[in-house]
Amino acid sequence: MHLLVVLVLLGAALFGAALGALCLAEVNPPPVSSESGAVIVLGCQVYSSGELSPQLELRLQTALDTYRAHPRPIVVCGGQGEGEPAPEGLVMREWLVSQGVPADDVIAECESMNTRQNLGYACALLPDGVRRVTVITSDYHLPRALALARDLGLEADGIGSPCRPEIGFWIKNHTREVLAWGKYLAQKILPIK
């Protein structure tokens, strides 16, 4: 019984430390380089009605503001999840073009189903010679996305769009991200895919 209590306390302490590290990393992202040759925007849910989820709209607004400040190619990423009327990448591209971004500057990646695939598939769509990119995703997701981008050989900086302010949303997504970091680290240490 004592061993179980110790393990539960150790697990809680590790989770708390990981959550604290995540929060610290999300509020202290690396500086964004003006030499970035492209922007990669990671996907998020599209409702069955075709409407953007609030979190996806925040990511796209951040991408639009970034483009207006420094125009360069944008790769928008995301396949078609269950209940989505179209691939996220296609919906994201249409939104950016409707906001005035030239269609030739927005490349849709429509096959990926997770962050690792988002970034890996986006690499193949980058303009020739571009290895320095700016990744845009939600603030809680940015530290891991940057780690994955660097694993792929990209020189990556990033901009985190704000997280929805509801406490339930914050807790759910930060808890999920801590667990995703555990998976990421396990994949780096262990020979699993």
What are the tens digits of pLDDT across the range 127-137?
999 999 999 99
CB count within 10 Å of CB 113 equals 14
Residue 27 lies in a domain: no
Region 132-153: mean pLDDT is: 94
What's the pLDDT band for 53 if we cut at 50, 70, 90?
very high
User: In this model, does residue 17 exceed pLDDT 70?
Assistant: no
In this structure, is residue 92 part of a structural domain? yes
Q: What is the greatest pairwise CA distance in the chain?
A: 64
For residues 105 and 93, the answer to whether their CB atoms sit within 8 Å is no
Average pLDDT over residues 43-52: 96
**Gyration radius of the chain over CA positions:** 17
Cβ contacts of 39 within 8 Å, gap of 6 or more: 63, 66, 67, 72, 73, 74, 75, 133, 134, 135, 136
Q: Is 82 left (phi over 0), alpha (psi -120 to 50) or beta?
A: beta
What confidence tier does 49 reach under pLDDT thresholds 50, 70, 90? very high
For the CA atoms of 137, 164, 45, 126, the dihedral, rounded to the nearest 10 degrees, stands at -10
Residue 109, in any domain of the structure: yes
- 36-61 mean pLDDT: 96
Question: Which domain does 156 fall in, by range?
Answer: 36-163
DSSP letters, 127-173, are PTT--EEEEEEETTTHHHHHHHHHHTT-EEEEEEEPPP--HHHHHHH
Task: Evaluate whether residue 82 is within a structural domain.
Answer: yes
191 in a structural domain: no
Confidence class for position 181, pLDDT limits 50, 70, 90:
confident
The reply to whether 175 falls in a domain is: no
Q: What is the pLDDT of residues 55-70, one digit of tens each?
A: 999 999 999 999 999 9
Rounded-to-integer distance, Cα 191 and Cα 184, Å:
12
Task: Give the tens place of pLDDT for each residue, 71-101.
Answer: 999 999 999 999 999 999 999 999 999 999 9
Q: Residue 150 domain-assigned?
A: yes
CATH number of the domain encompassing residue 74: 3.40.50.620
Which pLDDT score, from 0 to 100, does residue 132 have? Answer: 95
Q: Can you give the pLDDT at residue 185?
A: 80
The reported pLDDT for the residue numbered 48 is 96
Give the least confident one: 20-29, 85-94, 143-152.
Answer: 20-29
* Counted domains in the chain: 1
Could you tell me if residue 134 is inside a domain? yes
Mean pLDDT, residues 96-116: 97
Task: Fill in the DSSP letter of residue 83.
Answer: T
Is the pLDDT assigned to residue 153 strictly greater than 90?
A: yes
What distance lies between CA 122 and its chain's CA centroid?
A: 12
